[in-house]
Chains A and B, each alone.
Chain A
Amino acid sequence: MREWTIKDLIPQRQPIMMVDKLCSASAEDATTSLFLKEDNMFCHNGCIAEAGIIEHMAQSASAMAGYNCKAAGKPAPVGFIGEVKKFTLNFLPQAGSTLSTTIKVVSEAMGITLINAATSVNGEVAATCQMKIFIRED
């Protein structure tokens, strides 16, 4: 797969860049990673807050959409979370760990993408959810 830097793929900038790397991507699925630094804005008492996991999942989907737009010669779009459903938390990952996330597209229509996301640390699933993302192509 062609290497883009993450800044080419997502519109967010520091302090809220919550994906380091798009590891694989296709039209239907993607995997991403994030090394969780102690000074990450979502960290609290050495763990990431739930909100940070959800943001990481959303930006993972955004990076995937960005990759597919770039591959089609279009700029990376801006995506907004429209809805989070069935977010289930098993544990809060600790600072110093690496989050690995899988995104699977369930459906895509009229600028709304429905995805399933699962975030793991060392193969242990920390959280899963369904998410509706509104894509705005400028």
Chain B
Amino acid sequence: MKLQDTYFKIDNINVSAENQLQAQFEVTLLEDHPVYQGHFPGEPVSPGVCSLQMVKECAQILAGKEFFIGYVKQYKLLSVMTPQKNPKIIIGIQLTEEEKEEKKIYKIKASATDAANSETKFLDLSGELTPIS
């Protein structure tokens, strides 16, 4: 599955000046994605797993690599997200390269907030991404 440009679009990427593996992605949720026909009929709610995929796709752009999500330590969904109520989202991502069992992995920490109201936090993720060789 690829959600970029059908489920969300990236408006801007701000990469940290100090750390090339840290960035803020300004994205817009696209309300016409077919998933909203089924999640849920007459009551569109952004599926938490689609947010996870969206974070993964942003992380892939940041690292310039394709990943598996090998491990999710914790993925918290903190408020309901809908493209109608909060179309603009800011996703913060920090990746850290590490060796694990002689393979290179990336630890990820990510969060997402409402661009219109930074007090509204949608998710918190900590886990490990494994590059697809």
Contact = CB atoms under 8 A, between A and B. Distances in A.
B72 A86 contact: yes
Interface residues of A, number: 31
Chain B contact patch, size range = 20 to 34
Nearest to A48: B1
A61 B100 CA distance: 32
A55 B2 contact: no
A54 interface: yes
B52 A12 contact: no
Nearest to B34: A15
Given A82-B77, A86-B73, A50 B35 contact: no
A15 B40 CA distance: 11
Contacts of A83: 74-77
Interface in A66-119: 78, 80-89, 92
Interface string B31-61: 0001101111100010111101100100000
A17 B41 CA distance: 12
B69 interface: yes
A14 B38 contact: yes
A51 B68 CA distance: 10
B72 A44 contact: no
A13 B47 contact: no
Contacts of B56: 50-51
B69 A55 contact: no
Contacts of B2: 44
A58 B125 CA distance: 17
Contacts of B73: 85-86
Given A89-B68, A92-B68, A80 B38 contact: no
Interface of A: 11-17, 41-44, 49-52, 54-55, 58, 78, 80-89, 92, 129
Given A51-B50, A81-B48, 7 more contacts: A43-B1, A49-B1, A51-B56, A54-B49, A83-B75, A87-B69, A87-B72
